A and B are shown apart, each in its own frame.
Chain A
Amino acid sequence: EAQVTQNPRYLITVTGKKLTVTCSQNMNHEYMSWYRQDPGLGLRQIYYSMNVEVTDKGDVPEGYKVSRKEKRNFPLILESPSPNQTSLYFCASSKLAGVPDTQYFGPGTRLTVL
């Protein structure tokens, strides 16, 4: 089954404790992206990746890191989480075939930083 998976789905942590949210897709998609969803703000892009070893900042990259060592994986790293990073996070992927294709989303990760 074609899908985007994220782990963990729920996470409660404390300020300053490094964490990684994993994202994996099995569709051989070139493009992957991370978003955060906050009430009243919709989804905002954190980072995106056009292909392996190619990443770029979205609208709200501060406090986040990403890496794209393999096509299928795009982990989101919070080196020193803070309470304002409490949010619902979505990973997405799409096939980059010359035109912007539809982005398919993972199930979401609800992160709480105390």
Chain B
Amino acid sequence: AQKVTQAQTEISVVEKEDVTLDCVYETRDTTYYLFWYKQPPSGELVFLIRRNSFDEQNEISGRYSWNFQKSTSSFNFTITASQVVDSAVYFCALSPAGGTSYGKLTFGQGTILTVHP
């Protein structure tokens, strides 16, 4: 069975601070995909990144960066120089790359990030 844990329920920072959102996962699959989604106050789910289990390279996109460490089953997300517009709920998710659960997306509980001006 798959499981995704986001231990931080809520994080509050002041604008321009860096913030890291933790994600730890459990899976028996040898190949899988990891995702981050953002849910702003308007409610829609916005795709941020997809990472496959073969690729442990860290990725940077503007102020966003992701640290994937297979050895610790973690896929953490860092926002550098946070802004008020980053305030949202962030979800980490996991999907197997094959097998009987192919296509099944398992989400973490979400982390509410509030960035104060």
Interface residues of A, Cβ cutoff 8 Å to B = 31, 33, 35, 40-45, 48, 50, 58, 88, 90, 92, 94, 96, 99-100, 102-105, 107-108
Contacts and interface: CB of A to CB of B under 8 A. Distances in A.
B109 interface: yes
Interface of B: 4, 6, 9, 33, 35, 37, 43-45, 47, 50, 52, 91, 93, 95-97, 102-110
Contact of A45 (B50, B105, B108, B110): B105
Contacts of B6: 42
B17 to A, nearest CB: 25
Contacts of B97: 99-100
A75 to B, nearest CB: 19
B105 A107 contact: no
Nearest to A88: B43
